[in-house]
């Protein structure tokens, strides 16, 4: 496939994803909370099964869903109970005792919801792709 065809194909895929995401956003719970240090604490919303999301944010597909804690394969990140993907790649994340969230991309800053965390990661990535977390 030529570079051009590839790009067109990607764009088409993203548009389709965008349409699907628009539906999700219309029906799902949208809770966006961002807390910077010194900017007040994030208030955590409890993500239940209904808090899955699937949307295109700034051209990237972000998905979140409650996950089976036992199946988590990144050595010891116990108790996360939730999984976020960016364009299909897992974003390593963790839940704090107060219910807020952090990701490997923003590890010193708390977010009220997994969706807010996913969007912040997309902002930080500026189009770069996640690489699997190595826990040698």
Partner 1 sequence: MGVRKNQANLTAQEKRAFVNAVLALKANGGYDPFVTTHNQFIISDVDNGERTGHRSPSFLPWHRQYLLEFERALQAVDPSVNLPYWDWTADRTATAGIWGADFMGGNGRSSDGQVTTGPFAFSGGNWRLNVNTDSRTYLRRQLGTGVAQLPSRTDTESVLAITTYDAAPWNSSSAGFRNNLEGWRGVNLHNRVHVWVGGQMATGMSPNDPVFWLHHCFVDKLWSEWQKRNPGKTYLPTAGTPDVIDLNDRMKPWNTVTPADLLDHSGTYTYDTGF
According to DSSP, residue 15 is labeled H
| Integer Cα distance of 49 and 8 in angstroms | 35
Which listed residue (36, 48, 70, 88) binds partner 1 by CB under 8 A? 36
At residue 37's C-alpha, the angle toward residues 111 and 131, to 5°, is 50
Region of 6-14, 20-28, 54-62, 126-134 interacting with partner 1 (CB under 8 A): 126-134
Q: Scan for tokens 């704090």, then name that residue.
A: 96
Binding pattern to partner 1, positions 37-76, x when CB under 8 A? Answer: xxx-x--------------------------------xxx
Which listed residue (6, 7, 15, 124) binds partner 1 by CB under 8 A? 124
State whether residue 55 is helix, strand or coil.
strand
Binding to partner 1 in span 72-111, by CB under 8 A: 74-79, 92, 94-98, 104-110
Residue 10 tokens, joined? 């990607």
Question: Residue-wise over 80-109: b if at least 16 C-beta within 10 A, else e?
Answer: bebbbbbbeebbbbbbeeeebbbbebbeeb
For partner 1, the closer of residues 37 and 48 by Cβ is 37
How many residues of this chain bind partner 1 (CB under 8 A)?
A: 35
For partner 1, the closer of residues 9 and 124 by Cβ is 124
If one asks whether residue 130 binds partner 1 (CB under 8 A), the answer comes out as yes
């Amino acid at each position: 496939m030529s570079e051009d065809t590839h790009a067109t194909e990607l764009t088409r895929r993203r548009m389709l994803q965008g349409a699907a995401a628009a539906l999700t956003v219309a029906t799902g719970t949208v809770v966006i909370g961002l807390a910077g240090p010194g900017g007040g604490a994030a208030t955590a919303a409890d993500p239940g099964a209904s808090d899955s999301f699937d949307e295109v944010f700034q051209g990237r597909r972000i998905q979140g869903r409650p996950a089976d804690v036992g199946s988590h394969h990144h050595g010891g990140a116990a108790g996360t109970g939730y999984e976020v993907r960016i364009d299909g790649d897992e974003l390593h994340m963790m839940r704090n005792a107060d219910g807020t969230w952090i990701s490997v991309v923003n590890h010193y800053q708390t977010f009220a919801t997994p969706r807010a965390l996913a969007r912040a990661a997309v902002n930080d990535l500026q189009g770069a792709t996640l690489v699997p977390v190595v826990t040698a």
